[in-house]
Structure 1
Amino acid sequence: WPRSGPRILIIGCGLAGLGAAVTLAKSGVRGSKLLVLEALDRAGGRVHTARPFRLGHAAELGAAWIHGENGNPLYRLAHMHGLLATGRASGQDGDVDHFFTERGERLPSGTVSQVCKRFSEIMGDAFGETDRVYGGTGGTEARSAAAGHRSVGDFLDEKFFSPSGSWDEASKGVFEWCKRIECTDEACSSMYEFNLSELGHYSGFEGRFFNSLGPRGFSAIVDTLVDRLPAGSVIFNKAVSSIHWGLRTEQTAAEGVAGAHPVRVVCEDGSEFHADHVIVTVSLGYLKANGASMFHPPLPPRKLRAIERLGFGAVSKIFLEFESPFWPDGWDSMQFVWNEGPEDRAITAGSWKDSWYKKITGFNSVARHPNVLCGWVTGREARHMDTLKSSVVGDMCVRLLRQFTRLPVSRLVQVLVTTWNKDRFFQGAYTYIPLGVNARTEQQALAEPVPGRRDPQTSLQVLFAGEATDVNFYTTTHGALLSGQREARRLLN
């Protein structure tokens, strides 16, 4: 990398890093002024499309959703480049979900619809609690502190089991299933650990959701962004070990660094890069494991506190490839309704490791893979599953499918369990807001550059992007992209 001129270095080539790089390149920051370092041998970060099954079609090991249309930059990209799937492959039309009890009984669709509708209504009320806590004038801080120890799970139970509600055992089981599904959206171990007062900070885009793209998968969106960068802008297999910021200009000049850039980035292979500005886009999980040791001098206490207090949840996918599909054509999913589920208070507080498999909500069909099913596990159960052999996980899944559906399950050919939670560069899936944590306070602290703007000559040396830094769009792919664009604009402005 030529040692001349003002330079911007981006760490990470996921959607946040690409959002920053493309925005800067579009504004004329090119050539020796812009470089992206990526620890892996691919772009995309937590977006990872692979072709691991016999038919060779795309499967999403990581992010799979486009959340809404209107105003969503990822939807706009996918639509512009013709990357969206149509019909059933989009996850939009013709979905037929089947719910089974552990006794092998299929629940009436009316029961399921009634409970899911009520759950959705209560979740809408839960989002409104944020306005109640933060709305109006006066006493906001006190109300926030008092409300910060009430969980979404407690709110759901209170509203669902209120005196006006009378539910049979099957309906209660579906309600517990809804809470498990919500854990997947929030990446938490339990809805009893998610802060109710902060839920409504999250915002969504209007329009349809897509959980499957065209034949090239979600990585096709990543490719369109990479293609917008000048050749040679990204160096792969270049893991960073330390970031030295606040270097005095006379010190760097004495070390023979032309231009006296105030930031030095040292990589695991011993190579070094000098820059005026570095945008860090690594996951919150990586910062939790390395943030206290990789920055020199250490990050400010306020930022380290934010890294510690924000939650970074575990989410794992289980792909099961069978010799042939054993479920009827047109079935999109087989969902598991337990008599006593992992979201029951007793299970949450008790020996959850013995019943980790109860966190599996069920299994869904996979677009363009007629013989593959996909299930999800979240939270501490997902991290526990990471310690098990894939064969053990597969055997348990087959047992559950037989027990719940009573269908003749065909031979299992392959089990693929994603490894985001134990991958040292990610160490989890996405962000959630634990009890007692003020989302805006901590996420804004996480997003603050160091140093700040007090001295224009030395400010904005290290900037931070990633879904965890976005108060309104955390957990999402568009949140990651927008956060990178935000930091690029911060520098350009």
Structure 2
Amino acid sequence: MYLRYVSLLFPLFFHEISGIPNEKPIIIIGAGPAGIAAATRLLENGIDNILILEAEPRIGGRIYSTKFGDTNVDMGAMWCHGQEGNIVWEKLVDMNLTDLVRSTQHPRTFHISSRKELGKDFEQKLYDIMMEILDSEQAEENESVGFAFGKMYNKSITEQFGNDREKLNYARAASKWLEHVTMSIEGSLSWYDSKSKTTYEECGGNQHLNWRGPGYKIFLDILMKKYPTGSNPLPIDDKILLSKEVTKVLWNPAATRNRVEIACADGSSYVASHVVFTPSLGVLKERGEEMFVPRLPERKMIAIKRVGMGAVMKVFLHYPRRWWRDEVAFNLVWDENDRKNVRNEFTQGPWMNGESWITRLYSIEMLEENPKVLLVWITGDVVPALENTDEKTLLSGIEFTLKKFLGHLYDIPKPDKVLRSNWYSNPHFRGSYSFQSLSSTDNNIPDLLEPLRTSNGSYIIQFAGEATSPTHFSTVQGAVESGYREADRLIGLYKYPLLINSLVH
């Protein structure tokens, strides 16, 4: 028993470890919100002998705010999902910084490719039906979102518009809009991939809060105590190494002393007593099989395969002038005839199931702080191919779509700048955010977050990131919670080793 306690106390002797260059008691892999949260929690508790290895040339992970137009835009995360029990919102409240986010409202109307006017009452009824379905809990166990929502939607529109064939046909066409909205929420490439009944718990309050001019990255500054100006920043900058893509993580489950060797793509290597691994589930799906030596436990590999990871694409367009007047968004619905025939009018691929990629463009949003910028949303099966499509084709398709839907209402100029996301094709992410797939089980996320231990029960590799959050996966708050969770394990180990050991055993 005494030797077991000694093995747990070993990491406390920060300055007594072997002295090998690049050796640290704690190494965090990834400087996204989970990694930054874990590091700041450790630093706030007096554990400062840490190192963060980040594959990108910047911090933030899937929080990526960058200057475009008059202010920043969010290439990745952009929403604060609710207020009750949301750690992001709570931090803003605690620091009296809630003015950093604002509520956004989307129009309850649609633009149709045929330019047919069906009346505001019909459009608002249609929108209300969709929102009721998105909030519905009527789905059954092991139903896909697509099957459950499609069934509810068809029943509702038949009841509402069954006596008006024209309206019913347009309502059926509008199901594609609901499909794309759902995929943007889920992060899936098909709404038949995601499960309708999941362990996700919605935070109460406003679900439509997004960040003002500075963008979501200001929240990272809050975590690191760099914002507001004049606060005492945590000593984190000199603990982050950028452009350090981890290729191998070597660990020994039979060891009595914690030791993890980390190899990077640039030839550098590092040694740690504890590792907190925070890269995206997409990275684990692609490289988890060979990255860890020895191989990860089978149940963890099963979880990696079963939990879903898809992608959503954003395209930001900057115009020489604001042409959309006071509109806040355009919801686009393709007439069924147009959907089938548009590839004869716009001939540039990619194609999915015989349809043009532009039919996957479903929403155009205006940014309040950026008066000359539009945000185009594209979801679904076309995203992986479209991320690798040349910019000229991308712009041509968007311009064609805008003129088809809105050309009779607006004088639409050509954009002078474009910026697009590439989360799926980026090897450091391989997707936007996780979801519970139809093949996943409630055990998969607990298996995903379960730490690896040595033979004496000591934590050696821990897992964080939004995909490891059982109740807030796909969100920044889930990522932050997971970073705090794993940091707290280590704080308990470092500060109360005998207590932790008794709990483990």
TM over 0.5: yes
**Residue 64 and residue 107 in structure 1: after superposition, are their counterparts in 2 closer, same or farther (change >3 A)?**
farther
State the 1:129 CA deviation: 3.9
State the 1:317 CA deviation: 0.1
Alpha carbons 2:82, 2:89 under 8 Å: kept: yes
1:77-116 alignment, distance < 5 Å: 77-81=91-95, 83-85=97-99, 90-92=102-104, 95-96=106-107, 98-116=109-127
2:499 counterpart residue number? none
Aligned with residue 234 of structure 2, among 222, 229, 243? 229
Match of 2:459, SS? coil
State the 1:400 CA deviation: 0.8
Q: Which amino acid aligns with 1:229?
A: L
Aligned with residue 411 of structure 2, among 400, 408, 413? 408
1:68 counterpart residue number? 82
1:307-386 alignment, distance < 5 Å: 307-328=304-325, 330-340=326-336, 351-352=352-353, 354-386=355-387
**Residue 285 and residue 343 in structure 1: after superposition, are their counterparts in 2 closer, same or farther (change >3 A)?**
farther
1:144 counterpart residue number? none
**Structure 2: how far apart are the matches of 1:22 and 1:342?**
53
State the 1:180 CA deviation: 1.2
- Post-superposition Cα deviations, 1:273-292, rounded to whole Å, max 9, x if no partner, equal 22221010000001111101
1:344-493 alignment, distance < 5 Å: 351-352=352-353, 354-405=355-406, 406=408, 407-438=410-441, 440-451=442-453, 455=455, 457-493=456-492
**Structure 2: how far apart are the matches of 1:467 and 1:343?**
36
State the 1:353 CA deviation: 6.0
Length, aligned pairs only: 448
1:150-299 alignment, distance < 5 Å: 150-162=143-155, 164-167=159-162, 168-196=168-196, 198-199=197-198, 201-227=199-225, 229-231=234-236, 232-246=238-252, 261-299=258-296
> TM-score, normalization: structure 1?
0.84
Q: Which amino acid aligns with 1:188?
A: S
Alpha carbons 1:97, 1:334 under 8 Å: kept: no
- Structure 1 unaligned blocks of 5 or more: 131-146, 251-259
> TM-score, normalization: structure 2?
0.82
State the 1:42 CA deviation: 1.9
Alpha carbons 2:114, 2:335 under 8 Å: kept: no
The yes-or-no answer on 1:20 pairing with 2:38 is yes
State the 1:268 CA deviation: 2.0
RMSD: 2.7
Q: Which amino acid aligns with 1:485?
A: Y
Alpha carbons 1:98, 1:106 under 8 Å: kept: no
**Residue 25 and residue 421 in structure 1: after superposition, are their counterparts in 2 closer, same or farther (change >3 A)?**
same
**Structure 2: how far apart are the matches of 1:432 and 1:78?**
26
Alpha carbons 1:332, 1:364 under 8 Å: kept: yes
Alpha carbons 2:83, 2:206 under 8 Å: kept: yes
Of all paired residues, the percent bearing the same amino acid is 27
**Structure 1: how far apart are the matches of 2:178 and 2:30?**
35
Alpha carbons 1:11, 1:37 under 8 Å: kept: yes
**Structure 1: how far apart are the matches of 2:151 and 2:338?**
18
1:36 counterpart residue number? 52
